[in-house]
Amino acid sequence: MSQSDVPDFAELLKSARHTAVHLEMRDIYSVGDETESFERFLRTGEADLDPDSAFWQGWTPLVREAVGRGVSMRRARIVSEPVTDYIRYEHALTPVNIAVGEQVRWLPRPQTSEIALPGNDLWLIDDRLVLFHFFAGDGDWAGHEYSEDPAVVRLCASAFEAVWERGVDHEKFTV
């Protein structure tokens, strides 16, 4: 699939029929649309837990729509311990992900040593298409790439399922 043939992420998620899984492996993200919210969290410890707020409007409607169509959405996060401030922030926000239908698990990094992991965060849609996210060293967006290569899809599916199997449900994971 050429890059020009690939839909944006919202269209990609709307194309999902059965599953959409997300593997996150960084300890720090520094994407621009979270800057103000993250800085507020650092100052006050408060996180925006209103799934209908302006902060969440780019995400929660997409998840609700997908889950409403019967798509299973799972997110697995590999984290170093002790966790970074960003992971504490992400953990504080996760109740919104769950409230709109995502399932979320966390896995401490030492428990991943025997898992063959891809080099980048990813979304896997219906075990057919992988969207890799690239980040700069400081955690800001640096691009993305799609793959439908069966070997790449198998690696990513296997890695995600291994992380998911070992992961701890959000409700039981403390930071």
Smallest CA-to-CA distance from 53 within 10, 100, 2 is with 100
Average pLDDT, the chain: 95
Query: Is residue 25 pLDDT above 70, yes or no?
Result: yes
Q: What percent of the chain has pLDDT over 70?
A: 96
| Residue 71, pLDDT score | 98
Query: Is residue 8 pLDDT above 90, yes or no?
Result: no
Query: Is residue 160 pLDDT above 90, yes or no?
Result: yes
In this prediction the pTM is 0.95
What is the average per-residue pLDDT within 21-49? 96
The string of pLDDT tens digits covering residues 44-84 is 999 999 999 999 999 999 999 999 999 999 999 999 999 99
| Per-residue tokens: 27 | 């300890």
| Residue 6, pLDDT score | 58
Each as own residue / partner, the long-range contacts of residues 2-9 (CB below 8 Å, 24 or more positions apart, any chain) are: 3/145, 3/146, 6/146, 9/123, 9/131
Cis status, amide bond into 82, omega within 30 of 0 = yes
| Residue 2, pLDDT score | 44
Distances (CA, A) of 75 to 5, 39, 44, 81, 118: 26, 24, 26, 19, 15
Query: Is residue 1 pLDDT above 60, yes or no?
Result: no
The string of pLDDT tens digits covering residues 92-102 is 999 999 999 99
Query: Is residue 127 pLDDT above 90, yes or no?
Result: yes
CA angle 97, 161, 17 (to 5 degrees): 60
